[in-house]
Amino acid sequence: MTARVIVFADATLPQDVLDGCREAAQSIADYAREPVDIAVVGPLHVADVHAVTRMWNDAPPPASLAPLPLKTATMSAAPFVWREDGRPDWAEMWTGFCELALYGGPPHRGEAQTLRAPDAGRAQTATVSEQPWDGFDPMTEIRRGIWETAGLFAEPAEDPGWMVITCGSRKMAAWLAASIIIENVDARCEEERLYVPACRDFHLKNEVKSVITVVAKTHHYWQAHIAQQEMMAATAAAREGQRA
């Protein structure tokens, strides 16, 4: 779904103000129940945005408003969307994404709540600690959520406490791992394999949702920005080669 609301912010604003803008955009998305884009742009582009909006509205720029107090916060939690069978509809839940922590956006979890992979002993002996529905299994739900939101195949790793996700390349796995760590969720990579925490005692609305969220969020940016940039660079290089 294409966002119908876009929030523009000047990149020269203080970091706490930018964080507040992102929090406000997430609040609008929660209220409107649809994605909201936020664009952090340079001063020259801000001037362009003002010129375009004045042209469309055929009105003078609005008077400045008194600034409201803003606070730094982690990413607001997206409301759960449920299927008719009572299970989460992960694909419908993540139709919009706020900016990555890698680019200055709010991290998914606070540093004090960093989600770390359990040690081998806990991972091997853990049992399902909640039953939101009959047959609930955190490992199965993480796999399903990653597939529905990112289209990536995941399976329990040989190393206890991890889920391994097959990526399209070594670079993709490394980029996703680095981006996920900045979201305050453990991650690592080996070749084209991405590893994220997974354990049978994870709770649906806490650890399970966090793992699915950070994979969905970072994969969205990989596809929409990094992979697209690489494709454009390759196309430009090919054209230069033809000219030569």
In the DSSP assignment, the letter for residue 98 is P
Query: What is the C-alpha to C-alpha distance for residues 224 and 128, in angstroms, rounded to an integer?
Result: 36
Same structural domain for residues 51 and 94?
no
When divided into structural domains, the chain yields a total of 2
Is the pLDDT higher at 216 or at 71?
216
Same structural domain for residues 125 and 220?
yes
pLDDT above 70 covers a percentage of the chain that reads 66
pLDDT digits (tens, 9 = 90+) for 72-123: 444 445 678 889 888 999 888 765 555 677 776 788 898 899 999 999 999 9
Q: What is the mean pLDDT of the chain?
A: 79
Quick check: 211 pLDDT over 60? yes
pLDDT digits (tens, 9 = 90+) for 166-198: 999 999 999 999 999 999 999 999 999 999 999
Query: What is the C-alpha to C-alpha distance for residues 97 and 56, in angstroms, rounded to an integer?
Result: 27
DSSP string, 11-80: TTS-HHHHHHHHHHHHHHHHHHTS-EEEEEE-HHHHHHHHHHHHHHHTSPPPPPPPPPP----PPPPPPP
Same structural domain for residues 61 and 95?
no
Give domain status of residue 244, yes or no. no
Quick check: 60 pLDDT over 70? no
Quick check: 208 pLDDT over 70? yes
Query: What is the C-alpha to C-alpha distance for residues 194 and 210, in angstroms, rounded to an integer?
Result: 16
Give domain status of residue 243, yes or no. no
Give domain status of residue 82, yes or no. no
Same structural domain for residues 130 and 70?
no
Predicted local confidence at residue 130, as pLDDT: 93
Give domain status of residue 60, yes or no. yes
Give domain status of residue 105, yes or no. no
Q: What radius of gyration do the chain's Cα atoms show? A: 20
Quick check: 161 pLDDT over 80? yes
Give domain status of residue 238, yes or no. no
Same structural domain for residues 95 and 53?
no
CATH for 158: 3.90.1150
Its domain, for residue 21, covers 1-76
Same structural domain for residues 63 and 95?
no
Same structural domain for residues 207 and 125?
yes
Q: Is 24 exposed, middle or buried (0-12, 13-18, 19+ CB in 10 A)?
A: middle
Predicted local confidence at residue 188, as pLDDT: 97
Q: Is 107 exposed, middle or buried (0-12, 13-18, 19+ CB in 10 A)?
A: buried
Contact 207, 200 (CB under 8 A): no
